[in-house]
Amino acid sequence: MLDQIQQLLSDQIQGISLEPIPHSTPAGFIIPSANIHAVCELLHSHPSCYFDHLACLSGVDDGVEANTMEVVYTLYSIPHDVHLSLKVVLNRAYPEVASVCDIWRGANWHEREAYDLFGIQFSNHPDLRRILLPADWVGFPMRKDYEEDTAYHGMTIKHPDVLKP
């Protein structure tokens, strides 16, 4: 099925670059970020694949050295019983990618979580704001270079050092 999906995308989206995601379960492709919305729209609407379910959307921080972040989409086609992963690689200085909320309504909260924890911007998102942290929280705690504050609204924040024996 992966070969058929690759052929469909190559036929329908002019000049698209598709690179297999190494060691991925489910298998899938690295997609240029400029193409992610068109790819998702096609995979959702085309009867030969009909990926009707966005099972997960995750942010990944590759670190300061790599200077990239990723968004990984895990899709599932209920009628065809097929899973697929898509990944976009973003510039860490300004990580932005198109929202897929208009394709899968459930993407709304997934994208808000990736924004809240990683600072990934989703253009055309209908309500991109924090979902887990308070609106006035500073920074994005899942970034590898995140530094915790020692206080929040006058309360001292003390976390046990779980890495020390």
| 21 lies in some domain | yes
Q: How far is CA 115 from the centre of its chain?
A: 9
| 165 lies in some domain | no
Altogether, the residues listed in the chain come to a count of: 165
70 within 8 A of 59, measured Cβ to Cβ:
yes
| 23 lies in some domain | yes
Tell me the one-letter amino acid at 109.
W
| Average pLDDT over every residue of 62-70 | 97
| 164 lies in some domain | no
Q: For the chain, how many structural domains are there in total?
A: 1
Host domain of residue 90: 2-156
- Three-class secondary structure of residue 30 per DSSP: strand
| 84 lies in some domain | yes
| 9 lies in some domain | yes
Please check the confidence at residue 15 and state whether its pLDDT lies above 70: yes
Give the mean pLDDT of the chain: 94
Please check the confidence at residue 163 and state whether its pLDDT lies above 90: no
User: What confidence score (pLDDT) does residue 164 get?
Assistant: 63
Question: For 46, phi and psi rounded to 5 degrees?
Answer: -75, 130
| 119 lies in some domain | yes
| 109 lies in some domain | yes
pTM: 0.92
